[in-house]
Structures are given as structure tokens and as C-alpha cells.
Amino acid sequence: MDFTIKQIASLLEGNIIGDENAKVNQLAKIDEAAKEGSICFLANPKYENFIYTTQATAVIVKDDFQPKQNVSTTLLLVKDPYIAFTKLLEEYNKLAQQYNAHQRIGIEQPSFAGKNLHIGEGFYLGAFAYVGNDCEMGDDVKIYPHCFIGNNVKIGKGTIIHPGAKIYDNTQIGQYCSIHSGAIIGSEGFGFAPQADGTYKSIPQLGNVIIKDYVNIGANTTIDRATIGSTLIQEGVKLDNLIQIGHNVIIGEHTVMAAQAGVAGSTKIGKMCSIGGQVGIVNSVQIADYTQIGAKAGVNGNVKKPKTTIIGAPAMDFKNFMKSSVIFRKLPELQKRIEQLEEKILNLPPSKG
């Protein structure tokens, strides 16, 4: 679809320098081979040199941008180019989803739909997908090919289950969620009771997973069902690819978590938290609201104070970690000084006392 710069400026509340009737139909990065018909953005000054050579039809820039050379492209001046381009991406994605919603409707064959399946308007079930018995699907739910949906699953309006995702029995998923390829929701939790002879006995996992509205689950992420009750992912949570969420975990509203993080069972994470990649959190701890956890941190205790930043393994307060890092870097020098002092002490003349 083609859009004029004037239409985009209206959306972004920006001002135009150049041809307001020029048309664009794709988004591009300014440091790559952007061509006519594309629109880019310039937010980082180190990429400024590209604006003088780009073939893009238009570039979104900050409203105080002063070019040092002639610019052949149309400029769209906004308060914050990065936020403006993000908004443009959102609108583009919304249009793409709307297009797919209109294009993908109905039940393709071969596929399997169980008994008592209740579906809303605009429902789509892709080829080679399986949906079990007693399921409820809201309006515009899209289940792509090769997905598995177990029995008694409820999926809310506008949610998309991407190819190859697996949703186990009794899972509840809210509205406008996105479950990406390879994700597994509701698999059996890691519950084993040690026995006197050193073996382990499996503990039945009888609960489910509840995912609230506007949640994004990345590719190959797994969320275990609860032993009893529910593993709960609250509204607006964003989970990256390759994340493990254990049984009975609760993740608060709008918390984000980067790839390869792991959360052990029965942990409670507050709202608006930010958790870096490869973070490991032990079982049954509580993480306060607005906590920030740096990449590769190992969290083995409660974080009680909101807006705390921790890092390291074991994780500690960020300021203490930085102080400890300074000392750690000095250890070779300190060791050398200690060895020199020991040598001096050994070479001291014997005391006459």
C-alpha cells in the first residue's frame, strides 16, 4: 500500500520539508540500501552521513535537525524520531494483521477440530492443525498450520497462535496475545519428590496456565502448568524467545524478560520489572515491582524493595556490584603487593629481643 508523506506527517504530528505528495510503501534502515519508495529515520548522530546519500523517498528526523550538506530526500521533522518510527511500525503491523485477518478465515483441510468447538467471527484454523474438545475461540483468533490446541482451551479475541506452537489442556489465553512458533504452553511442571533410596517420584501436575490480555510469548519459550492452581502471566507481559517459566510462577503486569532467562517454580515477579538475558531465578522467591535485573544475574533471594536494580551471580545491588567489580579487577595487583610484603617480612633480620 502506498501512503503520502502528508498522510504519515498527520499520523506522527510532524512537519515536512520537501514533497508532501511523495509516496512510500515500505520501511527501511538508513544505513542500508534504502531505495525510492521507502521511509527511514535518523535518531543517532553517528548515522547522519547516510542522510546525504540515501535513495529513500523520506527520512524522519528530529525537529531541530540542521543538515550540513544538501539533502535530496524529503524530511519529516518530529519531536523524537525513534518513537515516531516505532509508531509507524506499529501502524504498519496493524494494517498487515488486518490484511491477514481478512485473508485467513475458515478451517483449512486437512486439520482436526474436536467436539463442542465454539468459534467467533473471523476464526482461522490452518492446515495440519489440531484443536481438541470443548474449546472456545473468540473473534479473529488465528491458529496457524501445525499447531496443537488441547482440550478445554479458551483463546480470546484477536489472539494469534503462530505455526508449530503447542497449547496443552485447560490453558486460558486472553485477548490480542501473540504466541510464537515453537512455544509450549501448559507442559508438565518439573515436580519430582526425592525418595529415601535416592530415586525420584513424579508429582502430578494438575493445574493450568492462565495468560491475560496483550501478552507476547516468544518462539520456543515454555510455560509449565501449575501443580495445583494456575501459572499466571498477567496483562501486557512480554517474554522473549527461549525462556523457561516454571510451575505456579506469577509474572506481574507489563514485565519484560529477555531471551534464555529461567524462572523456577512458585516464584512471584512484580509488575513493570525488566529482566535481562540469561537471568536465573531460584524457586519460591518474590521480586518487587519495577525491579531491574541485569543479564546473567543469579537471583537466589527475595527482592523486597521496589525499583531495585541488581546484577551478578549471586545477584546483588547494582552499586555494590560495581564497587566489588573495582576490587576484583585489582586482585592481581593486590596479590603481587602481598607477595612482595611477605618476601620483605621473611628477609627481615631476626629480632634481638
Query: Cα 73 from chain centroid?
Result: 34
Catalytic residue, candidates 102, 146, 247, 254: 247
Q: How far, in Å, CA of 162 to CA of 171, rounded?
A: 16
Q: Which three cell numbers stand for residue 121?
A: 467471527
Q: How far, in Å, CA of 91 to CA of 292, rounded?
A: 29
Nearest to 262 by CA among 292, 239, 291: 239
Q: Which three cell numbers stand for residue 230?
A: 494456575
Per DSSP, which regions of 84-171 are E strands? Answer: 106-107, 112-113, 118-119, 124-125, 130-131, 136-137, 142-143, 148-149, 154-155, 160-161, 166-167
Q: Running DSSP on this structure, what letter comes out for residue 1? A: -
- Residues with Cβ < 8 Å from 93, sequence gap 6 or more? none
- Residues with Cβ < 8 Å from 137, sequence gap 6 or more? 117, 118, 119, 120, 123, 131, 143, 155
Q: How far, in Å, CA of 73 to CA of 75, rounded?
A: 6
Q: How far, in Å, CA of 62 to CA of 75, rounded?
A: 10
Answer yes or no: 247 catalytic: yes
Catalytic residue annotation: 247
